Amino acid sequence: MDLVDRMLAGDRVALAKLMSRAENEAPDLPEVLARIAPRGGRAYTIGITGPPGAGKSTLVDRLVDKLRVEQATVGVIAVDPSSPFSGGAVLGDRIRMQSHCLDPEVFIRSLSTRGRRGGLARATRQMVRLLDAFGKGTILIETVGVGQTELDIMEVAQTVVVVLVPEAGDTIQVMKAGLLEIAHIFVVNKADREGAFRMKAELEQMLHLRPAASWTVPVLLTEANRDHGITELLAAIHAHRRYVASDGAAQRAAAEHRVREFFDVLSGTLAGRLESRVPDAYAPLLARVREGAQDPYGAAVELLADRDGLRRLLDGDE
Amino acid sequence: MDLVDRMLAGDRVALAKLMSRAENEAPDLPEVLARIAPRGGRAYTIGITGPPGAGKSTLVDRLVDKLRVEQATVGVIAVDPSSPFSGGAVLGDRIRMQSHCLDPEVFIRSLSTRGRRGGLARATRQMVRLLDAFGKGTILIETVGVGQTELDIMEVAQTVVVVLVPEAGDTIQVMKAGLLEIAHIFVVNKADREGAFRMKAELEQMLHLRPAASWTVPVLLTEANRDHGITELLAAIHAHRRYVASDGAAQRAAAEHRVREFFDVLSGTLAGRLESRVPDAYAPLLARVREGAQDPYGAAVELLADRDGLRRLLDGDE
């Protein structure tokens, strides 16, 4: 556990190694996170999401600039569906973020989605916990893409910024993608392009149709690549943060997120035990499933009925 | 189990009820699927995905038309991130699909993503198994949105069609979203719009940069709302189906998918047991997590260390 001590003492290499263990869903990570829990709980988490091509990475980069001016310490987690061909991240984004790479108060980490099935929201949450215990006061989570997993990841964030561009098409698509429900702040980026004002008006109209809420979702115009509108965006984020601190519904949501995190750790741990032990303990059954000689459901029912075998699979190590 | 018999005898209401149980992840569903397994295994599954606004629903509608002309029996699963405000699906898509609602050989079902965390690929897979056993020979899965969950869902499909529109922006976004890797066929829909030919050329160039493969991914132009190019698309799907039947790599991928399905059922069942039993068995612990008096990781570590308690949580019913 020396790694944990080094991380808590401010060692960035130790932090990076623990982040990798979160990414790889190392089975002992819950113990690590339980141990560092007393040091955490102070970070504020901001999610940035939206369709591909909306300019989220540039926006995050500019936000980090402003946060640094405010003396905030910053962590960035970029959830990045990397390609097996490109050998990792699409280069452009990473290069842009390199302007902060030499700043010791900024820690940037991308979380690869390659070859992954599920568990992304869990890994993101664990990385937030690590950055939090490391002392990062503000954590930005950027997700590329718009889908259910991204919506799940955004649940980790206390303030969610949805970034769109005028070209993103009809605002009805925003509704279809479930973005209207998760946005605390809308940003129409690349606002110099045609249709920006119309999109802002449409979003405001859609927001107006919702049941009245105590937080009014603002729709902001930005041009991240020219650094326009970023100060206003950060002010809106701070305003939402103050709102969250005082709002009962937000407190209840946070309580439910803690419960969700608890169940995720439990089921993730058990799934890990299955994946590591079934290949040895049930080799013939697994072979039959692989060959198609037995259907997966019949095989699962058979294994689940083997009470003693199941116990052996799921017991912790002696 | 009368419901299963009725479904196998061709009762659509029974099928719909079982589909709902798959959607709601009913704990006894693995047994149902084990029972119907001998009746399945014949259906061919086609996935249709792409960014919001690409016209996927219209394309699916037109494909169903052509499949019906070929006398195929068709199932459609539309994975639909419904909004809590709109009270369900965004109306337009569903209305369009109603042209097939009176055709007894077509079964259309949407799978809501509302309030869901994970499990979507599992539910989709189970619905495919049900439609398969019901006798649907061709099953179309449409996912709205582009994200990791959608990529996972597309693993259920044997042929994956990725639908884009010229407005979707730079084709680099296709790479970022992980679509290049999953596409067996690319469609540039709304091909009458500016940039369609350029997008086709760019996609073909990107595909050309990949390691040589025995299947050449075609890039097709369609105008689904005018019924242009759909016959060619269906021909490409059939060609890919013949390819899959003869390709060793595709056979190995299918074997790995069966193994994945097996593990998903196992971990899904165990997660269900935890969620239903922990609130009673560990009420004080859960309350401490909810209130923030104990961190979720410490609580999970504590529960996992309670071997007898964990066994009681995970044992099947007597």
Residues B107 and B240 in one domain: yes
> Which of 217-246 (A) contact B at CB < 8 A?
none
What six digits make up the tokens of A199? Answer: 């999109």
Kindly state whether residue B20 falls inside one of the protein's structural domains: no
- Residue A139, pLDDT > 50, answer yes
Asked if A3 reaches chain B (Cβ–Cβ under 8 Å), the answer is no
Kindly state whether residue B182 falls inside one of the protein's structural domains: yes
Asked if A170 reaches chain B (Cβ–Cβ under 8 Å), the answer is yes
Residue of B40, B271, B297 lying closest to A267 (CB–CB): B271
Taking CA–CA distances from B317, the nearest residue in chain A reads: A305
- Residue B303, pLDDT > 70, answer yes
- Residue B86, pLDDT > 60, answer no
Residues A184 and A271 in one domain: no
Q: Quick: pLDDT tens for B101-144.
A: 667 788 888 887 765 666 788 889 999 999 999 999 999 999 87
Kindly state whether residue B7 falls inside one of the protein's structural domains: no
* C-beta atoms of A176 and B85 within 8 A: no
Cα distance from A53 to chain B (closest Cα, Å)?
Answer: 6
Residues B281 and B133 in one domain: no
Kindly state whether residue B294 falls inside one of the protein's structural domains: yes
Residues A298 and A230 in one domain: no
Residue of B34, B177, B305 lying closest to A52 (CB–CB): B177
Find the angle CA(A189)-CA(A191)-CA(A195) to the nearest 5 degrees.
110
- Residue A87, pLDDT > 50, answer no
Residues B190 and B309 in one domain: no
User: What does residue A158 show for φ and ψ, rounded to 5 degrees?
Assistant: -85, -35
More confident residue, A213 or B100: A213
Asked if A53 reaches chain B (Cβ–Cβ under 8 Å), the answer is yes
The mean pLDDT of B235-242, rounded to a whole number, is 96
* C-beta atoms of B30 and A297 within 8 A: yes
- Give one DSSP letter per residue of A197-248, joined into a string: HHHHHHHHHHHHTSPP-SS---EEE-BGGGTBSHHHHHHHHHHHHHHHHH-H
Residues B148 and B224 in one domain: yes
Model ipTM value: 0.82
Identify all chain A residues contacting B57, using CB atoms and an 8 Å cutoff: none
Residues B81 and B206 in one domain: yes
Residue of B53, B175, B265 lying closest to A83 (CB–CB): B175
Asked if B260 reaches chain A (Cβ–Cβ under 8 Å), the answer is yes
Identify all chain A residues contacting B210, using CB atoms and an 8 Å cutoff: 85
Residues A276 and A197 in one domain: no
Residue of B33, B41, B53 lying closest to A170 (CB–CB): B53
User: What does residue A141 show for φ and ψ, rounded to 5 degrees?
Assistant: -115, 120
Cα distance from A250 to chain B (closest Cα, Å)?
Answer: 13
Which three-class secondary structure state does DSSP give residue A277? helix
> Which of 76-115 (B) contact A at CB < 8 A?
81, 83-86, 90, 92, 113
What six digits make up the tokens of B121? Answer: 């690929």
The residue written with tokens 């889908």 in the block is A147
> Which of 122-151 (A) contact B at CB < 8 A?
129, 143-151
Name the domain boundary from A212, A246, A280. A246
* Number of domains making up chain B: 2
Tell me what pLDDT residue A116 has: 63
Kindly state whether residue B28 falls inside one of the protein's structural domains: no
Cα distance from B316 to chain A (closest Cα, Å)?
Answer: 7
Residues B242 and B299 in one domain: no
- Residue A230, pLDDT > 70, answer yes
More confident residue, B233 or B40: B233
User: Mutate which of B42, B266, B273, B311 to disrupt the A interface (most A C-beta within 10 Å)?
Assistant: B266
Taking CA–CA distances from B27, the nearest residue in chain A reads: A301
Kindly state whether residue A94 falls inside one of the protein's structural domains: yes
The mean pLDDT of A89-109, rounded to a whole number, is 62
Percent of chain A past pLDDT 90, that is, above it, reads 52
Asked if B118 reaches chain A (Cβ–Cβ under 8 Å), the answer is yes
Which one, of B171, B189, B191, lies nearest residue B180 by Cα?
A: B171
Taking the C-alpha atoms of A250, A255, A257 and A262 in order, what is their torsion angle to the nearest 10 degrees? 170
Domain containing residue B217: CATH number: 3.40.50.300
Residues B168 and B287 in one domain: no
The residue written with tokens 């996609």 in the block is B203
Sequence-separated (6 or more) residues with CB below 8 Å from residue B1: B32, B35
Identify the sign of the CA torsion B115, B118, B122, B124: positive
Residue of A176, A263, A275 lying closest to B81 (CB–CB): A176
Which three-class secondary structure state does DSSP give residue B109? strand
Kindly state whether residue A17 falls inside one of the protein's structural domains: no
What six digits make up the tokens of A25? Answer: 């869903």
- Residue B284, pLDDT > 80, answer yes
Residues B236 and B197 in one domain: yes
- Residue B70, pLDDT > 90, answer yes
* C-beta atoms of B181 and A83 within 8 A: yes
Tell me what pLDDT residue B88 has: 38
User: Mutate which of B28, B301, B307 to disrupt the A interface (most A C-beta within 10 Å)?
Assistant: B301
Question: Is-above-0.90 flag for pTM?
Answer: no
Amino acid at A314: L
Where are the extended beta strands (E) located within chain A?
A: 44-49, 74-80, 106-112, 138-143, 159-164, 185-188, 219-221
Q: Quick: pLDDT tens for B217-237.
A: 999 999 999 999 999 999 999
Kindly state whether residue A25 falls inside one of the protein's structural domains: no
Tell me what pLDDT residue A190 has: 92
More confident residue, A119 or B95: A119
Asked if B201 reaches chain A (Cβ–Cβ under 8 Å), the answer is no
Cα distance from B164 to chain A (closest Cα, Å)?
Answer: 12
User: In which element (H, E) is residue B81 found?
Assistant: none
Tell me what pLDDT residue B237 has: 98
Buried b (16+ CB within 10 A) or exposed e, A294-315: bbbbbbbbebbeeeebbeebbe
Residues A189 and A298 in one domain: no
Tell me what pLDDT residue B97 has: 56
Give the domain range for residue A306: 262-314
CA distance B230 to B129: 27
